[in-house]
């Protein structure tokens, strides 16, 4: 393999977040309160009607199947550019580059779109409750500034802020739904028709309802982006992904079902199609809890959309960082802060892009909700759904060539195949219902350009991949290959030996003779010794590993991965230490 043209790799801060933090980041990206208030009224009023909860049930099943293959990949590859790395390993570097560019596009525009909906909610809420009418661009500026400042610091700070806002928005939705359930429902009691699976495919436009159901999950896949910063990513990321998909799905089903029950079947459709679709939530909140809860609900719409925008900012920053550290776009994007371990340059770049997008819509006199939010959300959704589709087939391609011990008829073949087919169906639903989803913005020039923008970015990525393969092969080899060293793929025959430590006061690796196979206890002992040494020296574990790597002139912890090998091949290839002479009795 050609030499890595980016020998010095800046690392994200390891062990910054645990399982709960990663789940919070992913669920905040999905934004339950924004997804419910924005998507459910459209699904009920113009889509599959009162069968919308069944649509969420169907989407939960499809995305769970998709996640099975996604999780299998996450257990083998840990990288900040999740889809970018997965597709590069499964479908090849050229497809990986095209998918990486699409993912960057999606997450970049998602933040700006959420700034639009936040500004709309802020303007209307402050005007209604405080009597102060300010331009929406001021609220947008505040959100962009606060997001930029928080993202400069450790990811743990952002996770805590998101956690507080996320718990608040989930609590109010859960409280309203539970109040309806305890009261026995509204005019029709607790009807079972909304959760009958066949009703997911009924109504005025079942395809539109199903599309908005799937749209409510956009962002759940962001769990894998935090693998390099999480504790024990091989366990945390798979668990966080499944918790996010299944947990959010059950929550959506419950809230949408009880919301329809609180308004009644006919009343739900009428309110959703009215000039005030948010009354679908406000009416049961006022009836079953009180008028004060409606005021609280409005404020939580602000915090929920703010949390969503900040989470998307983190996603975009990590994709820019992942591509930048490989020397693409600009290598400065791959730098991390010396103290906080954050991708601060990529984060600042994302802030500048978001400001430019928001300012462009403002200068053009566009509405923050109808144009800024809707158009950019459709653009980002189309891009990310295509990437998710490719990722499903990348799982099949990856395990067909690697890790025969992990191949499974369902986990690595049937599930990703069904998930990929399901994602193709969702893309088709988007194309068929895109004009309806755009609403009043469907007549704009930007709306008509959305498919062309997505196509240009994707085929531009393909072209860049082919160019690098032909003209810059040393750069081509790096595409999607910078991953955590302990997650790096190794081919049979290459067995890296553990490097010695640089300083004498750092304990050397175990001197026991190599075992026939690697056992969990053996790995735990080495890991414990490593962490103990780091505590004694008062340095992070990743810095300790860097010292070890520097001692032998090896690549840093994040490096172009060597080819894969099974653990048994690695252990058997290590030279046995010299044995002391036998002791004899006098």
| Cβ proximity of 98 and 459 under 8 Å | yes
For the stretch 121-130, pLDDT in tens is: 899 899 988 8
Please give the Cα distance from 516 to 585 (Å, whole number).
31
| Cβ proximity of 369 and 120 under 8 Å | yes
Please give the Cα distance from 321 to 343 (Å, whole number).
6
pTM value is 0.74
Cα-to-chain-centroid distance, residue 65: 17
- Residue recorded with tokens 């809707």: 374
Please give the Cα distance from 113 to 215 (Å, whole number).
14
For the stretch 455-490, pLDDT in tens is: 999 999 999 999 989 998 888 887 876 654 443 443
Provide the pLDDT for residue 2.
39
CATH of domain 19-380+423-468: 1.20.1740.10
Element (H, E) at 384: helix 374-401
| Cβ proximity of 513 and 585 under 8 Å | no
CB atoms within 10 A of CB 448: 12
Provide the pLDDT for residue 14.
61
Burial class (CB in 10 A: 0-12, 13-18, 19+), 269: buried
10-residue mean pLDDT profile of the chain (586 residues): values are: 45 67 79 86 89 93 90 78 83 90 90 92 90 93 91 71 80 93 92 92 86 84 72 83 91 95 93 88 93 89 86 86 77 75 85 95 91 90 91 92 86 91 89 85 91 95 92 84 47 36 33 37 55 68 64 44 42 45 52
Please give the Cα distance from 424 to 480 (Å, whole number).
24
Provide the pLDDT for residue 462.
94
Strands (E) in 212-297, as ranges, are none
Provide the pLDDT for residue 350.
93
Domain boundaries, the chain: 19-380+423-468, 490-573
Find the distance separating the first CA and the last CA of the chain, reported in whole Å: 57
Q: Phi/psi at 461 (nearest 5 deg)?
A: -65, -40
Please give the Cα distance from 340 to 354 (Å, whole number).
23
């Amino acid at each position: 393999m050609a030499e890595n043209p980016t020998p010095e790799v800046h690392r994200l801060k390891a062990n910054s977040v645990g399982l709960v933090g990663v789940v919070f980041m992913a669920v905040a990206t999905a934004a339950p309160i924004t997804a419910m208030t924005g998507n459910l009224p459209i699904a009920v009023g113009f889509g599959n009607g009162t069968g919308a909860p069944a649509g969420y049930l169907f989407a939960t099943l499809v995305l769970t199947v998709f996640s099975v293959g996604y999780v299998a990949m996450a257990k083998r590859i840990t990288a900040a550019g999740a889809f970018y790395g997965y597709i590069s390993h499964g479908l090849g570097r050229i497809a990986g580059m095209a998918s990486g560019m699409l993912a960057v596009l999606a997450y970049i525009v998602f933040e700006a779109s959420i700034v639009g909906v936040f500004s709309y909610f802020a303007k209307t809420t402050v005007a209604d409750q405080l009597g102060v009418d300010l331009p929406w661009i001021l609220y947008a500026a505040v959100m962009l500034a606060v997001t930029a400042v928080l993202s400069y610091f450790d990811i743990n700070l952002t996770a805590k802020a998101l956690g507080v806002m996320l718990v608040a928005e989930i609590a109010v939705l859960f409280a309203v739904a539970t109040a309806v359930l305890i009261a026995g429902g509204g005019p029709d009691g607790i009807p079972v028709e909304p959760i009958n699976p066949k009703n997911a495919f009924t109504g005025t436009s079942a395809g539109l309802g199903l599309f908005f159901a799937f749209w409510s999950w956009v962002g759940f896949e962001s769990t894998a982006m935090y693998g390099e910063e999480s504790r024990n990513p091989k366990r945390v990321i798979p668990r966080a992904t499944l918790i996010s998909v299944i947990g959010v799905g059950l929550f959506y089903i419950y809230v949408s079902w009880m919301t329809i029950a609180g308004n009644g079947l006919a009343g739900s459709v009428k309110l959703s199609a009215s000039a005030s679709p948010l009354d679908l939530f406000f009416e049961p909140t006022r009836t079953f809890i009180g008028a004060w809860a409606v005021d609280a609900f409005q404020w939580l719409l602000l915090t929920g959309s703010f949390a969503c925008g900040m989470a998307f900012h983190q996603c975009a920053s990590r994709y820019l960082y992942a591509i930048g550290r490989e020397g693409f776009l600009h290598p400065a994007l791959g730098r991390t802060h010396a103290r906080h371990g954050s991708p601060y340059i990529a984060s600042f770049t994302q802030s500048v892009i978001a400001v430019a997008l928001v300012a462009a819509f403002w200068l053009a006199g566009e509405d923050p909700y109808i144009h800024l939010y809707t158009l950019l959300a459709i653009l980002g959704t189309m891009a990310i759904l295509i990437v998710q589709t490719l990722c499903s087939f990348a799982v099949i391609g990856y395990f067909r060539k690697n890790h025969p011990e992990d191949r499974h008829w369902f986990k690595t073949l049937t599930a990703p195949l069904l998930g990929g087919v399901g994602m193709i169906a969702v893309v088709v639903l988007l194309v068929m219902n895109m004009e309806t989803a755009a609403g009043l913005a469907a007549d704009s020039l930007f709306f008509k350009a959305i498919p062309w923008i997505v196509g240009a970015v994707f085929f531009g990525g393909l072209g860049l991949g082919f160019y690098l393969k032909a003209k810059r092969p040393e750069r081509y080899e790096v595409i999607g290959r910078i991953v955590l060293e302990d997650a790096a793929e190794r081919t049979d025959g290459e067995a890296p030996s553990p490097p010695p430590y640089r300083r004498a006061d750092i304990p050397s690796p175990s001197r026991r003779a190599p075992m026939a196979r690697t056992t969990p206890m053996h790995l735990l002992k080495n890991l414990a010794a490593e962490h103990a040494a780091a505590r004694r020296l008062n340095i992070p574990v990743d810095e300790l590993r860097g010292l070890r790597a520097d001692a032998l002139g090896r690549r840093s912890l994040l490096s172009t991965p060597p080819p894969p090998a099974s653990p048994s091949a690695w252990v058997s290839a290590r030279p046995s230490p010299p044995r002391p002479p036998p002791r004899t009795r006098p």
